[in-house]
Amino acid sequence: MLTGEIGSQIDKIWDSFWSGIANPLEAMEQITYMLFLRRLGDLHRLEENKATLEKIKNESHGLGLLVRSLVGLDHEAAKDAALLYESPFIDINPLGPDGVFNSEQVGELISLLDKVRGNAVAA
């Protein structure tokens, strides 16, 4: 929304439309000016939206992780393999995955989680 000086200019233009413009050329000129101001406002909003999206992307450590969290695909275990050695995983075995799988399987599991995290982070 346009405010301040530009907003008051738009209000003046609307007032002139409501009071009646005798010259059709002046009406076209005013309409063109209003369309220009509308486009200017649209461009301003677009830049604000881009800045907001970039801020969200940086705060969420990547747009991919943000999207995954929004759609419910962002499991804590996929964020950090160290979480596999905390509850609820150690509730099954006090050693976490090391107590359930052999070392090769644990390595494969951690590698897979790292790959999922890597795919979630926007390049």
Instruction: Tell me the pTM.
Output: 0.36
Are 120 and 68 in contact, with CB atoms under 8 Å apart? Answer: yes
Cα separation, 50 vs 72, whole angstroms = 24
Six-digit token string for 110: 């951690």
Helices (H), the chain: 4-19, 24-59, 63-70, 76-79, 89-92, 103-120
Give the residue from 40, 30, 49, 35 showing the smallest Cα distance to 2: 40
What's the confidence (pLDDT) of residue 77?
40
Q: Which sign does the torsion angle of CA 101, 105, 107, 108 carry?
A: negative
pLDDT in tens, 97-122: 888 888 898 888 888 877 777 776 55
Give me 47's structure tokens. 């830049």
